[in-house]
């Protein structure tokens, strides 16, 4: 483990930015945090989470895939991709770091999504341990340790120092780039901070939320549960929960005629929308109840069924904060799981 003083924080950022693009949470005028490219004068935000998750670095909200040029009956397919930049995403929380594992199982399983894979190859994830978890946090439900996040490098921030620990080969390369600005240290201060954070996590309102009642093989048990009707009754179908979720991976592919050719792009989509997967014959989920059920069954049953029991939720709490009618996965779990 190595450390540097907080006074050297910007020097660390400057050194990283010499060889890679550096992105980190930055406070906005609205009092929220979002990821921005670092440059001198931009301050790292101490906000617990960003409004949108860092999944966008690997799975962008909108992404051009290719273009087509036509001349008579001849169609030319143009690969519009450019070389992916080497970049560092700094300050990723434990819940968001876990979300990359969930997305990897979707996009890096055969057939591999080459767009996603290229970004994963070029990106370095530097996580930041939590010290002030929110009342909407429940990452512990999914065995995520907010005090010891994964990633290529794990970072802890105290009042006077930044502590770094490399976890992967990429992480070792990152640490080598800032070695002159850091020094070897013991982990006493880190262990003390971890203990405090874990005690806070135990006292949070959602600390006792359990996912034990869910998982693979539970489709028959939950699919026709009458509770879906009441749970979905007030859902607006706005899709807010899916767009702030770090693990949602639905997308649509569209062609746009520019007048000089056709651009094919993909963009995030939501299973909560009435026209999601709309086909010529219609939609196979025609009611809001069916669409609502699909979202939560996927997180709690379908995904773990196909991914070694791993749930499709990381307990970040963004959907709890964002839903305009205060409906969320915790209420679904408590209702269906028997905690009425």
**Do residues 65 and 166 share a domain?**
yes
pTM score, whole prediction: 0.92
Q: Which residues contact 54 (CB under 8 A, 6 or more apart)?
A: 23, 35, 89, 92, 96, 246
**Do residues 167 and 228 share a domain?**
no
**Do residues 104 and 131 share a domain?**
yes
Tell me which residue range forms the domain holding 293: 219-336
For residue 210, is it within any domain? no
CA distances from 39 to 13, 98, 239 (A): 8, 27, 33
For residue 234, is it within any domain? yes
For residue 259, is it within any domain? yes
d(CA 329, CA 317): 9
d(CA 68, CA 140): 47
145-159 pLDDT, tens digit per residue, is 999 999 999 999 999
Do the beta carbons of residue 51 and residue 34 sit within 8 Å? yes
d(CA 222, CA 288): 17
Interhelix angle 114-122/94-107, rounded to 10 degrees, is: 140
**Could you say which residues of the chain have pLDDT below 70?**
278-283, 339-340
**Do residues 167 and 258 share a domain?**
no
In three-state secondary structure terms, 126 is strand
**Do residues 35 and 64 share a domain?**
yes
Predicted pLDDT of residue 340: 45
**Do residues 190 and 234 share a domain?**
no
For residue 82, is it within any domain? yes
**Do residues 190 and 225 share a domain?**
no
Range 151-154 contact pairs with CB under 8 angstroms and sequence separation of 24 or more: 151/92, 151/97, 151/125, 151/126, 151/127, 152/124, 152/125, 152/126, 153/124, 153/125, 153/126, 153/127, 154/126, 154/127, 154/129
**Do residues 120 and 151 share a domain?**
yes
**Do residues 172 and 253 share a domain?**
no
Predicted pLDDT of residue 287: 87
285-300 pLDDT, tens digit per residue, is 778 899 999 999 999 9
Predicted pLDDT of residue 260: 81
d(CA 326, CA 320): 7
Predicted pLDDT of residue 337: 87
Domain boundary residue among 203, 229, 260? 203
For residue 154, is it within any domain? yes
For residue 212, is it within any domain? no
Domain boundary residue among 169, 203, 237? 203
d(CA 78, CA 76): 6
Predicted pLDDT of residue 280: 62
Q: Which residues contact 34 (CB under 8 A, 6 or more apart)?
A: 25, 26, 28, 50, 51, 52
For residue 208, is it within any domain? no
54-103 pLDDT, tens digit per residue, is 999 999 999 999 999 888 888 889 988 887 899 999 999 999 999 999 99
**Do residues 130 and 6 share a domain?**
yes
Predicted pLDDT of residue 338: 72
In three-state secondary structure terms, 128 is strand
**Do residues 70 and 195 share a domain?**
yes
Predicted pLDDT of residue 279: 64
**Do residues 93 and 173 share a domain?**
yes
Domain count, the chain: 2
For residue 213, is it within any domain? no
Concatenating the DSSP letter of every residue in 29-97 gives TTS-EEEEE--TTPPPP--SS-SS-GGGGTS-SEEEEEEEEEETTEEEEE----PPPPEEEEEE-HHHH
d(CA 181, CA 179): 5
């Amino acid at each position: 483990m190595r450390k540097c003083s907080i006074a050297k924080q910007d020097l660390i950022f400057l050194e990283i930015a010499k060889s890679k693009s550096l992105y980190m949470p930055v406070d906005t005028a609205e009092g929220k945090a979002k990821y921005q490219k670092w440059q001198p004068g931009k301050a790292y935000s101490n906000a617990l989470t960003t409004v949108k998750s860092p999944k966008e670095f690997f799975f962008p909200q909108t992404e051009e895939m290719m273009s087509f040029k036509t001349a008579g009956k001849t169609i030319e397919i143009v690969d519009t991709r450019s070389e992916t930049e080497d970049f560092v995403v700094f300050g990723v929380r434990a819940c968001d770091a876990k979300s990359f594992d969930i997305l990897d199982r979707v996009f890096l399983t055969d057939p591999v999504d080459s767009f996603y894979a290229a970004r994963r190859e070029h990106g370095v994830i530097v996580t930041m341990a939590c010290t002030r978890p929110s009342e909407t946090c429940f990452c512990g439900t999914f065995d995520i340790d907010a005090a010891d996040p994964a990633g290529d490098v794990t970072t802890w921030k105290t009042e006077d120092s930044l502590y770094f620990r490399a976890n992967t080969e990429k992480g070792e390369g990152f640490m080598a780039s800032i070695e002159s600005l850091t020094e070897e240290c013991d982990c006493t201060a880190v262990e003390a901070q971890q203990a405090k954070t874990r005690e806070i996590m135990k006292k949070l309102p959602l600390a006792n939320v359990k996912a034990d009642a869910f998982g693979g093989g539970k489709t028959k048990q939950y699919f026709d549960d009458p509770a879906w009707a009441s749970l979905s009754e007030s859902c607006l179908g706005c899709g807010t929960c899916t767009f702030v979720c770090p693990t949602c991976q639905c997308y649509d592919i569209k062609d746009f005629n520019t007048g000089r050719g056709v651009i094919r792009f993909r963009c995030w989509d939501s299973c909560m929308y009435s026209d999601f997967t709309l086909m010529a014959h219609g939609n196979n989920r025609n009611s809001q109840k069916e669409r609502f059920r699909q979202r939560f069954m996927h997180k709690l049953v379908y995904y773990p069924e196909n991914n070694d029991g791993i749930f499709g939720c990381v307990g970040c709490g963004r959907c709890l904060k964002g839903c305009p009618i205060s409906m969320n996965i915790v209420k679904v779990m408590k209702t269906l799981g028997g905690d009425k």
